[in-house]
Structure 1
Amino acid sequence: MPSGAVRMSRKRAPEPASQLGDVPERKRVSWGILISQGSWADRSPLHEAASQGRLLALRTLLAQVTPVTKGCHANIATIDHVTPLHEACLSGHVACVRALISAGANVNAATFDGITPLYNCCSSGSVGCLELLLQNGAHTRARHAHLPSALHEACKRGNSQCVESLLAHGADPDLKVPQLGSPLYVSCLHRHADCSKILLHTGANVNVGRGNDSPLHAAVRQDSRDQVTLLLDYGANVNSRDEDGRRPLELAPPGGPSQQLLVSFQGSPRTLCQLCRLRIRNVIGRSRLKHLPRLPLPPLLTQYLEHM
């Protein structure tokens, strides 16, 4: 198995290099190593129609189901438990997703390796498909802690709108997956400052990463000025130590922006304004931060507490 390979929710037969060049980048990434394994002999015409966004063909196939078996056809699955809904979400076909849900498709169906339609929405960045799933009962959290998380996938891909939507529907911004860490750690690792800002604004713990490795450690390794500045502003602990006992400053590339920021930060303590904001937000608590705009406060004070 090649290093860095990405597991995914469906198989495909080998394709000539000329054909692979025509495949959208997001699908090539999602297919990962399974692009050259096995075949799709167990895929149904419904899978193909959903994947290609052929709505008329999809509706025709769904209409062939009798009232007695309604819902079974929409949930037809491959040997790896990939359903047509998985395919439609991975390709971002909103109309097909709506048609499948109307026909009884299971919005929480999971593949053999735990991939859900919601996860595939976050891979493709389809907010429209994601919203449809959430409105129809999709779970923001996987059934088991070790299974893939849609929120982690959105943070990895930098799909900030998906991150925002998941959090608005109750996703835990501090959800930890053993091999990945927290969503904030993943967004820092992949240099997606927009996702990090949304997570922190919602109340994600700025110091929760992967094991002893904090989000600040991850941001410093990437030498990301935006990420480091953001984390420091939300109270990141500059003295935390990773598994090898190293502080973030010790990991910063010499002469890089991260090193300059950390040296400057350690030379001057946080202002009283910053300390007060962090303390007030901590007392309010993550679950109540969303109610800040409802408080009878001057707009300027509300913006101050919201980091606006």
Structure 2
Amino acid sequence: MSRKRAAEPDQLPTPSPERKRVCWGILTSQGSWADRSPLHEAASQGRLLALRTLLTQGYHANTVTMDHVTPLHEACLSGHLACVRALLAVGANVNAATIDGVTPLFNCCASGSVGCLDLLLQSGAHVRARHTHFPSALHEACRRGNSQCVDSLLSHGADPNHQVVYVGSPLYVSCVHRHTACSKVLLARGACVNLGRGDDSPLHAAVRQDGADQVSLLLNYGADVNLRDGNGQRPVDLARPGEKIQQLLAAFEVSPRSLCQLCRLQIRKVIGRDKLKLLPLLPFPSVLTQYLEQIHENN
């Protein structure tokens, strides 16, 4: 994502022909050090009094840099809730996007600031990615392991199965980065357990990362052990011989799922992803509700 920091007066950056880095496979420009306004700097550092003073002096809340970074982007990336609130109060664009498609919501997920995230969502931030070729805020939350952000985004309508061609699904991203807590939230909210990146499934990714907890979780939610990746390999083919994951997959192949688990998976499928959140509201005994929510993962 684009973010430009102002240099200290006695530590000016050394000029270079290019100042770029790769994020999510996108070559993102760090831009000029000179085009950040004092408002950007105050928002980035969380200096609320200075921010308010600058706003009263005529600085516009939607002032942008060459890369279209706004002060709201900066406040969210640093997790400064008070500054975010102050900027929104004077009309900051909650859905402003940089030239790389980064929104303030995306930056909240990068910083893990649930407070800023919820405030943006209450102010009309879009949870669905407007640029389908860029990773969404949900992808970023999964990459960073910010499970609370994942839960909040899904509660506000984010698609757990949103795919980006070169990144894959949010579940795939959480498996690649070994964030089991994020995977649990996604699966509980109805994410497709077999939707990964191309032919590569989340289970393939979890096995490559030696994530035994991830593998167990995916199997419990119905992961297909017979899917083959682009090289024609099944997950068990990627596991190191003799290791826990290899033993887990081998045992699973010769032991079919229990009738209890098959029933639970089918019931959840029939209920549908959009209605899973209503399960706690049904007049069922808590044991049955937990069963349907798949809290007891070893059943």
Q: Same fold (TM over 0.5)?
A: yes
1:211-247: CA deviation from partner (whole Å, max 9, x where unpaired)? 1100000001011110000000000000001111111
Q: Which residue of 2 aligns with 1:105?
A: 92
Q: Which residue of 1 aligns with 2:17?
A: none
Matched, 1:219 2:206: yes
Distance 2:26 2:187 in 1: 34
Q: Which residue of 2 aligns with 1:153?
A: 140
Residue 265 of structure 1 deviates from its aligned partner by: 0.7
1:9-58: CA deviation from partner (whole Å, max 9, x where unpaired)? 1234789xx99xxxxxxxx998x999996532000000000000000000
Distance 2:55 2:27 in 1: 28
Unaligned 5+ runs, structure 2: 13-20
1:90-110: CA deviation from partner (whole Å, max 9, x where unpaired)? 000000000000010001000
Contact 1:191 1:222 in 2 (8 A): yes
Q: Which residue of 1 aligns with 2:16?
A: none
Q: Which residue of 1 aligns with 2:194?
A: 207
Q: Give the secondary-structure state (helix, strand or coil) at the position aligned to 2:61.
A: helix
Aligned in 2, Cα 1:112/1:273: closer, same or farther, shift over 3 Å? same
1:65-119: CA deviation from partner (whole Å, max 9, x where unpaired)? 3xxxxxx800000000000000000000000000000010001000011010000
For 2:173, give the aligned amino acid.
V
**Where do 1:21-32 residues align within 5 Å?**
none
TM-score by structure 1 length?
0.88
Q: Give the secondary-structure state (helix, strand or coil) at the position aligned to 1:303.
A: helix
Distance 1:96 1:14 in 2: 21
For 1:42, which of 35, 39, 43 is the aligned residue?
Answer: 35
TM-score by structure 2 length?
0.90
For 1:64, give the aligned amino acid.
Q
RMSD (Å), alpha carbons: 2.4
Contact 2:142 2:179 in 1 (8 A): yes
Matched, 1:9 2:17: no
More helix by share: 1
Q: Give the secondary-structure state (helix, strand or coil) at the position aligned to 2:283.
A: coil
Residue 127 of structure 1 deviates from its aligned partner by: 0.5
Matched, 1:64 2:57: yes
Contact 1:212 1:241 in 2 (8 A): yes
Aligned in 2, Cα 1:33/1:249: closer, same or farther, shift over 3 Å? closer
Q: Give the secondary-structure state (helix, strand or coil) at the position aligned to 2:101.
A: coil
When the two structures are aligned, how many residues end up with a matched partner? 285
Structure 1, 290-299 or 166-175: larger mean CA deviation? 290-299
Distance 1:50 1:258 in 2: 46
Contact 1:249 1:262 in 2 (8 A): yes
Contact 2:188 2:294 in 1 (8 A): yes
Aligned in 2, Cα 1:14/1:216: closer, same or farther, shift over 3 Å? farther
Matched, 1:250 2:237: yes
Q: Give the secondary-structure state (helix, strand or coil) at the position aligned to 1:196.
A: helix
